Amino acid sequence: MSVAIPEPVLWFDRIRESDGPHRDDASGKYFVTRYESVRRGFLDERLGAPGLNLAKVPKELHQSVIDMEERYFSRWPVFSDSPQRSVARRALMKHLRVVDKGTIASWVDSDEPTWNAHRPFTSQWLLHLLKRSLISLLDVEQTQFDMLLKWSDEITGYLSAHPLDRGTVDRATDALASLEEFVIKNLQTAEQGLGLHLRSLLEQQQVDQSTLVGLYGQILTGTLEPTLSAIAVALEQLTGRRERSDEFEFDGARFTHEALRLASPFHYAPRRALEEVEIDGGLIPAGSDVVLCIVAANRDPGMFPDPGRFELRENSSKHLSFGLGGHSCPGARLAHQLCEEVTRACLDLARNAGSRPVTFDWDVSRSMRKITR
Ligand code: HEM
């Protein structure tokens, strides 16, 4: 049975109830939606990085998509199983500076330029906060931020586009080419931190340039869109009910996990079956495309009863929003901390917002949930 996918959460919910792994006839992909199966799927080495799947790409775009994917995305850590990916991943984890509480609170206090007393929590304001984190992580100039943001928008625009059109592909290709140029220059001049470390790995030939460009691409897209999304969900919850501020003060870490569980920024992680795999009693043939549906696992009522409800649960931290295993998100700690500390710094503001719950405008696609800016 093939089903059109109007709204990912509902569709994933439906197939989780009906099948273990669900084969979609139109795309030939297997969708895994139950919590335990998705969890095991992340840890199963027989499910490797995904290859290119052109099933849903309009014919006239095939060649440009193949060119772009081969030249750029094939070396992004998340889309590759190469040993270089592990080297790049370790380097990032070593240099991820977790930002301390006081620093984030001072950003919130001093953020005059984008602050609006009548509508305090805007997407632009959140973006402005994250800008500081990205600038310090990548060691870039303030003035380069708008350019990085534009590339990130164009790349995530391509990754979440459905259906795909030529403009989206062309913009993403240009953005990736500009990012490549930028990374090469940035590495040449890096004098400290992550950049310097990566340059020395490059010189020792432990990692190649394309893998590093991919790593920067993922840092860029990871620090912005999904982190903004997680913070926005936490702020909506915080201001949605009066008692939420007390719940946050009681356990801010769990509050943040619950926000990530309730509305995971990325809806799924793609994989390719390297050999035949049995999941939930269903056989997935070697070579198949497999979709590990994070958003459905996080809302599996067998694991999280009444899953659409926000509540501090014993197991809120068991969400799969950062994946698990060999490809799990190396930025998870930083993203979680940014989300928790921005929310903490907004507690007083939220209390003052009183009866005015904050809501963001959401752009929910098959692959992710983002706030519109
Ligand atoms: C709330 C924010 C974030 C979410 C929800 C998120 C989610 C994820 C998920 C689900 C994966 C695994 C995909 C898979 O298994 O196929 C992943 C991988 C990755 N993320 Fe994040 N991420 C976030 C923030 C970040 C940040 C802040 C960074 C960098 C500073 C980052 C860098 C990466 C990288 C490099 C990978 C690839 C890891 C690999 O394949 O070895 N992410 N992320």
Whether the per-residue pLDDT at 1 is higher than 50: the answer is no
State the CB neighbour count (10 A cutoff) for residue 130. 20
Q: Ligand 1, closest atom to CA 77? A: 40
- pTM of structure: 0.94
Q: Residue with the nearest Cα to atom 27 of ligand 1?
A: 223
- The predicted-structure confidence for 284-314, as pLDDT tens digits, reads as follows 999 999 999 999 999 999 999 999 999 999 9
- The predicted-structure confidence for 249-261, as pLDDT tens digits, reads as follows 999 999 999 999 9
The encoded tokens of residue 167 equal 């403009």
The encoded tokens of residue 50 equal 């995904």
Partners of 22 in beta bridges: 31
- The predicted-structure confidence for 129-188, as pLDDT tens digits, reads as follows 888 778 877 878 888 889 999 999 999 999 988 889 999 999 999 999 999 999 999 999
Q: Ligand 1, closest atom to CA 49? A: 16
Q: Ligand 1, closest atom to CA 89? A: 41
Q: By the 8 A CB rule, do 298 and 319 touch?
A: yes
pLDDT of residue 51: 87
Q: Which of 154, 156, 162, 159 is nearest to 56 (CA)?
A: 162
Task: Report the alpha-carbon distance of residue 112 to residue 133 in Å, rounded.
Answer: 17
Q: Of the residues 131, 194, 320, 329, which should be mutated to test ligand 1's pocket, given the most ligand atoms within 8 Å of the CB?
A: 329
Task: Report the alpha-carbon distance of residue 46 to residue 159 in Å, rounded.
Answer: 24
Domains in the chain, start-ordered, CATH in brackets? 7-371 (1.10.630.10)
Residue 276: φ, ψ to 5°: -65, 135
Q: Mean pLDDT for the chain?
A: 89
Three-state SS string over the chain comes to CCCCCCCHHHHHHHHHHHCCEEECCCCCCEEECCHHHHHHHHHCCCEECCCCCCCCCCHHHHHHHHHHHHHCHHHCHHHCCCHHHHHHHHHHHHHCCCCCHHHHHHHHHHCHHHCCCCCCCCHHHHHHHHHHHHHHHHCCCHHHHHHHHHHHHHHHHHHHCCCCCHHHHHHHHHHHHHHHHHHHHHHHHCCCHHHHHHHHHHHCCCCCHHHHHHHHHHHHHHHCHHHHHHHHHHHHHHHHCCCHHHHHHHCHHHHHHHHHHHCCCECCEEEEECCCEEECCEEECCCCEEEECHHHHCCCCCCCCCCCCCCCCCCHHHCCCCCCHHHCCCCHHHHHHHHHHHHHHCHHHHHHHCCCCCCCCEEECCCEEEECC
CA torsion 131-262-271-339 (nearest 10°) is 20
- Ligand 1 center from residue 78 Cα (angstroms): 8
pLDDT of residue 11: 83
Q: Residue with the nearest Cα to atom 23 of ligand 1?
A: 222
- The predicted-structure confidence for 63-85, as pLDDT tens digits, reads as follows 999 999 999 999 999 999 999 99
Whether the per-residue pLDDT at 113 is higher than 70: the answer is no
Task: Report the alpha-carbon distance of residue 316 to residue 307 in Å, rounded.
Answer: 11
Q: Residue with the nearest Cα to atom 21 of ligand 1?
A: 329
- Ligand 1 center from residue 356 Cα (angstroms): 33
- Ligand 1 center from residue 13 Cα (angstroms): 24
Q: Ligand 1, closest atom to CA 334? A: 27
pLDDT of residue 181: 96
pLDDT of residue 115: 56
State the CB neighbour count (10 A cutoff) for residue 322. 21
pLDDT band with cut points at 50, 70 and 90 for residue 111: low
Q: Distance of alpha carbon 310 from its chain centroid, rounded?
A: 21
Q: Residue with the nearest Cα to atom 7 of ligand 1?
A: 322
- Ligand 1 center from residue 77 Cα (angstroms): 9
- Ligand 1 center from residue 219 Cα (angstroms): 8
For ligand 1, residues with CB inside 6 Å are 77-78, 85, 89, 92, 215, 218-219, 222-223, 226-227, 230, 265-266, 269, 321-323, 327-331, 334-335
Q: Ligand 1, closest atom to CA 85? A: 41
**Picking from 92-101, 110-119, 323-332, which range would have the lowest pLDDT averaged per residue?**
110-119
Whether the per-residue pLDDT at 100 is higher than 90: the answer is no
Residue 6: φ, ψ to 5°: -75, -40
pLDDT of residue 3: 40
Partners of 277 in beta bridges: 284
pLDDT of residue 60: 96
Q: Ligand 1, closest atom to CA 137? A: 30
